Chain A
């Protein structure tokens, strides 16, 4: 039991899991019906799952997908990409502009998605080259696209905010007929499995962490840090394009100003809550994904408590501060000390009892 506890406290997953648990317990006490899941018939006549839990899983999928790429970038570049939401807007604009020019069929959607991926990867690589080759701090380098990205998205569609309505796109953003689970959740799961397989069967994960922990050592051991960093940005580009396309499909229009607005902040938060140090090094992919769900769960909980949507940010900030204070090294040390002192007393009493 003691071993298990030590392992748990040493793990990076402790904070995200604990926060999630806290949220669940809070909701259980507040209102048990928060967790109810029902099957309702949607407007197309198919039975679909509905409930707060589903909306949490569904709503967080875009941020969760982006947080995968952000985790890799954070790990190896020791900094964050703040342009992800702007690049997602660009990818979404490209996706829509391809779809608008043709009749929408499945191959065209795939083509549009690939095209969006390509553009998004190119923009990501621009960031990547600045970071890896020119050795500029990631936050500064991505500030360029952060300030210019949404304008580029605006320019792609000629300044318009076109709507696209099509049953096929509605299926991607909502429900595939016959399957009661929202499609974004399925895409998210497929994406996560793919990335986990890549990390498990290749050395990408190891190399990424090595570059993040000590670039010089990585170089001496025959790892090319520039290549690893560029690769992280390429993967992030694909993640961002996926997230952008899903969101476009869900809301059925592209608005370069509001598409995934402030999502970069949520993504970075998800990574931080997930236990990956924002200063690079060891990463925790599951933690980041859980972090994304924590943020969404928090938002949905606040909505359920009838907090006005504009004020949600303030409550979110308080919860974030509580979470980061809990995970702060100083506080952690203090708790460990406290725990040890209590534990030592117990063993002392036991030892005394034994000798007596």
Chain B
């Protein structure tokens, strides 16, 4: 398909004449939007937006979401969907707290449990979707139900971790040298990040490397772009899909532990709607649900944009939660329409936007080039 032209024939063509790929175009729009939005907020509201700590808090508060969204990026590139992320995250928090407090567990053990839960979900979902050919939406929906139900079976009441070693780890902060802000009394307070952020950034880098430079990553794009072509090219489509879900499950498990490090509590309401926020981050970041297009760096900036707009809405005085979800909806709407228009303009195939004549600016551009 046209979308993967760049990837498949990249080395044959002259680099300079090659147009920017859809993935990179959608990603650069998101990156520009994020920086534009943040600059705008800095100029108009100043205050908190000028504070580096507030920028870092975007990461501190949402490290788990970033990790879950990275797993989802891989699944979405392969053409599937995974909505079990939030459920697994919440289940991991609860099981780890119960293990640490009631069963005298160790921190290392709880980490292994988190990874185990994630892997178990990924394994089962991957087998069902890839090898039994069941629709991913239904399987991961069942996964979400199962995880959310299991939380209340493990413990109905919300729990707070009291394990000493764990609390030490939870309170650990990494001070960034040279960056900080002046407090009200004029003293310099250095900016801090939580250990979870390091994990999240590592995950982003690892996933980006996997997608860009490994055979599995390139296979993901091929499978998502056109699974039939991928099959005829000799790619093991089923195995590729299976590993995508397996990794997504594993990352959800890691995300759960990072969430626990941030809040230190196990609760059935933890990470509510995280799956939808992860999907929204991906969409804003330029990953398409149809598969074959996407980038994990885009996901990172998608998440940042999503959370920055919430901060902007709060800063502008609309503190009621419903304004935030309405602006999130509007922002999603804007990005979805933008992507639809861009892709329709770039695609030369039969799929074309049904817009009136005067809105079809893309075709005129193409004519000019020729």
Contact = CB atoms under 8 A, between A and B. Distances in A.
A143 B280 CA distance: 8
Contact of B325 (A136, A141, A148, A314): A148
Interface stretch (A44-52, A160-168, A322-330): A322-330
A26 interface: no
B150 interface: yes
A133 B148 CA distance: 37
Interface size class of B (residues with CB under 8 A): 35 or more
Contacts of A308: 152, 156
A139 B134 contact: no
B332 to A, nearest CB: 5
Contacts of A318: 142, 146
Contact of A143 (B134, B152, B283): B283
Chain B interface helix/strand/loop/mixed = helix
Interface in A109-148: 130, 133-137, 139-141, 143-148
A310 B149 contact: yes
A151 B148 CA distance: 24
Contact of A316 (B138, B145, B152, B323): B145
A317 interface: yes
B325 A317 contact: no
Interface in A315-356: 315-318, 320-321, 324-325, 328-331
Given A311-B152, A313-B145, A317-B145, A269 B325 contact: no
Given A143-B283, A278-B137, A317 B143 contact: yes
Contacts of A313: 145-146, 148-149
Contacts of B150: 311, 314
B351 interface: yes
Interface residues of A, number: 49
Interface in B307-346: 320-323, 325-326, 328-330, 332-333, 336-337, 340-341, 344
A80 B149 contact: no
Given A139-B289, A147-B328, A311-B152, A329 B323 contact: no
B128 A325 contact: yes
| A-side interface mostly | helix
Nearest to B135: A278
Nearest to B124: A321
Nearest to B321: A151
Interface in A207-229: 216, 226
B268 interface: yes
B283 A140 contact: yes
Nearest to A138: B289
Given A133-B354, A134-B353, A147-B325, A324 B138 contact: yes
B336 A130 contact: yes
B92 interface: no
B326 A148 contact: yes
B149 A325 contact: no
A171 B220 CA distance: 56
B93 to A, nearest CB: 16
A32 interface: no
Q: Which of A133, A216, A311 has the most CB of B within 10 A?
A: A311
Contacts of B175: none
Between A269, A272, A279, A324, the greatest number of chain B beta carbons within 10 A of the residue's beta carbon is seen for A324
A18 B137 CA distance: 22
Interface in A179-230: 216, 226
Contact of B141 (A143, A150, A268): A268
A143 B331 CA distance: 11
A278 B146 CA distance: 21
Interface in A260-294: 265, 268-269, 272, 278-279
Contacts of B144: 317
Interface string A71-110: 0000000001000000000000000000000000000000
Contacts of A329: 133
B278 to A, nearest CB: 11
Q: Which residue of A216, A269, A321, A325 has the most chain B CB atoms within 10 A of its CB atom?
A: A321
Contacts of A34: none
Contact of B322 (A145, A155, A216): A155
B20 interface: no
B35 interface: no
B138 A272 contact: yes
Contact of A152 (B128, B153, B326, B351): B326
20 contacts: A133-B353, A134-B341, A134-B353, A137-B289, A137-B290, A139-B81, A140-B283, A144-B330, A146-B276, A268-B137, A279-B135, A310-B268, A311-B152, A311-B153, A313-B145, A317-B149, A321-B142, A324-B134, A324-B138, A330-B132
Interface of B: 81, 128, 131-135, 137-139, 141-146, 148-150, 152-153, 156, 268, 276, 279-280, 283, 288-290, 320-323, 325-326, 328-330, 332-333, 336-337, 340-341, 344, 350-351, 353-354
Interface of A: 80, 130, 133-137, 139-141, 143-152, 154-155, 159, 216, 226, 265, 268-269, 272, 278-279, 308, 310-318, 320-321, 324-325, 328-331
Given A268-B141, A324-B138, 11 more contacts: A134-B340, A144-B330, A148-B325, A152-B326, A155-B322, A272-B138, A314-B152, A314-B153, A321-B139, A324-B134, A330-B131
